[in-house]
A and B are shown apart, each in its own frame.
Chain A
Amino acid sequence: MLNKLLHTILFAVAVSIFFSCSPKNISTKYYYQNEKVLDKIEETYKELSRQQPFTLAFTSKSFKTVSLEIITDTLAYIYEFGVEEPRLTDTLTTYGLNAPKVTRLIQQMQSIRCAWIKNFDYYVDEAKNSLIFMSIKPVALKAPFSYKKYYILTYFNRPQYFDKDGHLLDKRHTRRLRKINGEIFTRINDKVCYTISGKFR
């Protein structure tokens, strides 16, 4: 009898640990818990990338190595630096980026384990729009059996259309779900959506 009770308790504990770390659970809360810092990163990146298009990605597990892609009219340049390396700020300055602000952005991304940020163009009725793509690797998504490790946010410039389940639609009059980077996104608010993915870009 005691054995049976013990097994039941162990099973219940295992199940609760497993599901408490599941992507489904974290996705409903994560944005609002970290809204302030996430929105700040988005705003800063939007402002800086308007001056000179670039993307940032943390390529090491420790979030100490950053990949910087700078997109000019003629070439895209890909670099990789340690976050403390002076070469990073030298390069930012060379391309006319505000080095102190980008460094601050990198630190903010590091603090919240934001693995990637990119500006992304899309078109509606032939008009160019842009959204900002942010991938985060929250600590809570470290569940041992979970393949989906990244929490991905998209920030749109204008309100979007969603179906009754909150999934992102292409246009108001279409029922077709649209994937971005191979993923279906779900509504957080009119302009921000999320998904959980196995890759950060």
Chain B
Amino acid sequence: MATVIFFCVITKAVAITKSDPLVADDVTSTQQQAIAFIDAIRQLDTSASWPNIKPALFLQNLKATIHHPISIYPGNGTNFCGYGALTYLLLQDDPLGYAKLMLQLYHDGKATFGTTNFNPSAAIKNETGLLRYKGILDIHPADQMWFLTLADHYKGYLNLFNRNYNPGDEDSFWASVNFAKFNRMVRNLLHYKVKARGADLMRPHVGDIYQYISKRLQTGKVVLFINNRIVHKKNHVSLKLRVPTHFIVVEKISLADDVITLVYWDYGGRTLLQMSPTFFKRIIFGITYCTKKGTDAK
């Protein structure tokens, strides 16, 4: 407990507004291109493939996501955080590609993105639009469609014993993402080179973790696979399983007076967390460093 110390000194230097433009370097398509594309669409017809999606709500959700990528929300109590982090990266890497993929999936019930063919099951198609008590994801059918499709398509060892969707499985192992699966999805869908350090049960051996992350943040994107049960305790049990549970996308990191200030994306917004280097080291299990293809990952 003594290691969990959060200081209350907040400086203006770490405040970031949601309207900050995305980094424009090396993007496959720009946010402006995606906005121009999506804003030109006035309305959608009902999709025969997705009986419970309301077209107006779908379009509204898609537009909001393209305009404000930071607001993408994986839902309260779900295991969609890995898919959320992936989507947040995709929205920065190729927002126009994302918009077209979503519309193809909506209209045809299946879609192709790069070399990946998405063909979601009937159970997914029936459930999309019906998720409830997940926060704003309740009224985000496009996000529901995308997260459920990703979980249906990509499988890892955590999904071995629950491979077919049943209602409620968005909260279960069916939707879980292990570290290798996350990196596979990034390599598959994004135009990034990926260098992953760490594992589901072993912490990364990178020397000074702060220095490692800080350096890579200057040249690429960094996703952390953390043990969120220490950050957001869920019970008062003293003996905790040392396993990672949550994916976050690092936005900023700094170190002053032996306190690390981390600003990261998760759950539809940015969070600021201040902690000791020891605590920081304790929560991190996986570090995914992404650089645009054409630039060597170091």
Chain B residues within CB distance 8 Å of chain A: 1, 4-8, 10, 14-18, 57, 76-77, 132-133, 135-136, 138-139, 167-168, 171, 231-236, 238, 263, 269-274
Classify chain A's interface size: 35 or more
Interface centre among A67, A77, A137, by most B CB within 10 Å?
A77
Name the CB-closest residue of B to A88: B8
Within residues 135 to 151 of chain A, which ones have a CB less than 8 A from any CB in chain B?
137, 149-150
Partner of A79, one of B8, B132, B136: B8
CA distance A78 to B138 in the complex (A): 25
Total of A-B residue pairs, C-beta within 8 Å = 98
Q: Are B236 and A60 in contact, CB atoms less than 8 angstroms apart?
A: yes
A75 part of interface (Cβ distance < 8 Å): yes
Query: Contact partner of A123 among B5, B138, B232, CB < 8 A?
Result: B138
The one of A73, A80, A181 in contact with B18, judged by C-beta atoms closer than 8 angstroms, is A73
Please tell me if A74 contacts chain B, counting CB pairs below 8 Å: yes
Asked if B17 contacts A74 (CB within 8 A), the reply is yes
A104 at the binding interface (Cβ < 8 Å): no
Evaluate contact between A149 and B235: CB separation under 8 angstroms. Answer: yes
Closest to B5 in A: A80
A76: chain B residues within 8 A (beta carbon) = 269-272
Given contacts A122-B138, A182-B171, contact A150 B235 (CB under 8 A): yes
A200 touches B8 (CB 8 A): no
Could you tell me the distance between the alpha carbons of A57 and B236 in the complex, rounded to whole angstroms? 11
Residues of B within 8 A of A78 (CB): 6, 231, 271-273
* Given contacts A180-B77, A199-B235, A74 and B171 within 8 Å (CB-CB): no
Question: Would you call B168 and A179 a contact (CB within 8 A)?
Answer: yes
Partner of B135, one of A61, A74, A120: A120
Chain A residue contacts of B132, Cβ below 8 A: 122-123, 170, 178
A199 to B235 alpha-carbon distance, docked (Å):
5
Q: In the complex, A182 Cα to B170 Cα: how many Å?
A: 10
Q: By the criterion CB–CB under 8 Å, are B236 and A137 in contact?
A: yes
Which among A59, A65, A74, A181 is the interface contact of B15 at CB below 8 angstroms?
Answer: A74
If the complex has contacts A59-B4, A94-B8, are A75 and B232 also in contact, measured as CB distance less than 8 A? no
Report Cα–Cα, A74/B72, bound state, in Å: 14
A115-B272 contact given A75-B15, A122-B138, CB 8 Å threshold? no
Task: Tell me whether A47 is interfacial, beta carbon within 8 Å.
Answer: no
Contact flag A123-B15 (CB < 8 Å), given A87-B8, A90-B8, A201-B232? no
Q: How far is the CB of B175 from chain A (nearest CB, A)?
A: 12
Q: Check A200–B234 contact: CB distance below 8 A.
A: yes
Contact flags A49-91 to B (C-beta < 8 A → 1, else 0): 0000000010111000101000101111111110000010011
Q: How many Å from the CB of B225 to the closest CB on chain A?
A: 18
Q: Check A122–B135 contact: CB distance below 8 A.
A: yes
Q: Indicate whether A121 reaches chain B with its CB closer than 8 angstroms.
A: yes
Q: Which B residues lie within 8 Å of A198 (CB)?
A: 235
Knowing A74-B15, A75-B269, A75-B271, the reply to whether A115 touches B6 (Cβ < 8 A) is no
Is there contact, CB below 8 Å, between A74 and B57? no
* A-chain residues with CB within 8 Å of residue B136 when the two chains form the complex: 121, 123
